[in-house]
Structure 1
Amino acid sequence: MLVLLSIDPDSSIPPYEQICTQIIELVRQEDLPAGCKLPTVRQLAAELGIAPNTVARSYRELEAAEVIETRGRLGSFVAASGDPTRSRAQTEAVRYVTELRGWGFTDEEISRFVAAALRGLG
């Protein structure tokens, strides 16, 4: 499988972070669906023209974040759980609503807060 990633050597963002960010985005867009096999560390390093240790670090970071899972000699795969950032966002949304309800705000008021925040960020 060919993964279309690129490294910007002029970026202030380290290459391993660039790889992590791009893979997370591909998972989020479902261009890399759950269970999809990733290239080997050496294969991706050769494709990107970087050191294998850089790719290995990216894979370790992605595994720690539960975006990918390593299955020993079989290789690395997109985690069966899919995009863990969606799960975290849902958890944080529930925490936020619960906290504001505890302060006595109604769901309608909370919705207005969120809508205003989105307008302010847009």
Structure 2
Amino acid sequence: MADTSVPAGLALDPEDPRPPSEQLRHRVQQGRTDGTLPPGTRLPPVRRLAEALGLAAGTVAKAYRELEAAGVIETRGRQGSFVRAADRTEDLAVQAARRYATEVAGLGLSAEHALELVTAQLHRPR
């Protein structure tokens, strides 16, 4: 029996090579962008979503923490977690930062060195 408390679009794809927490983060971000998870949508509690998706609660909790850190959702204590309105500029900056982090990790640079490089570029005269 399907859990109707799970918003549409949060189902994971077993053929997707990404880890479940990354797939879940992507689904929530995509839902916010395409309108299937409009701002104010209450996300299911961690345990309920984990059970519905067949995941460990820690996997869903990790995705929620990362979404909150990225400003995609907000947690209001016992009221739950909600999709935040998108700030397009911030969203673009987060996407750019994610691409940069992936690229420098592939180059073998430390996080500290990567941050030094970004800081230097941000302070460079334009």
Q: TM-score range by the shorter chain?
A: 0.5 to 0.7
The amino acid that maps onto 2:86 is: D
TM-score, normalised by the number of residues in structure 1:
0.65
1:57 to 54, 62, 65: 62
**Secondary structure, aligned partner of 2:37:** coil
Q: Secondary structure at the match of 2:82?
A: strand
Are positions 1:66 and 2:71 aligned together? yes
Report the count of equivalent residues: 89
Aligned to 1:22: 27
Does residue 83 of structure 1 match 2:86?
yes
- What one-letter code is carried by the residue in structure 2 that aligns with 1:44? L
The structure 2 residue matched to 1:36, chosen from 41, 44, 47, is: 41
Query: In the alignment, residue 61 of structure 1 is paired with which amino acid?
Result: E
State the percentage of identical aligned residues: 46
Instruction: Report the alpha carbon displacement of residue 6 of structure 1 after superposing the two structures with TM.
Output: 1.9
Secondary structure of 1:69's aligned partner: strand
Unaligned 5+ segments in structure 1 are: 93-101, 103-122
Structure 1 residue runs of 4 or more that deviate by more than 6 Å after TM superposition: none
Which structure has the bigger radius of gyration?
A: 1
Q: 1:2 aligns with which of 2, 6, 13?
A: 6
Amino acid at match of 1:78: V
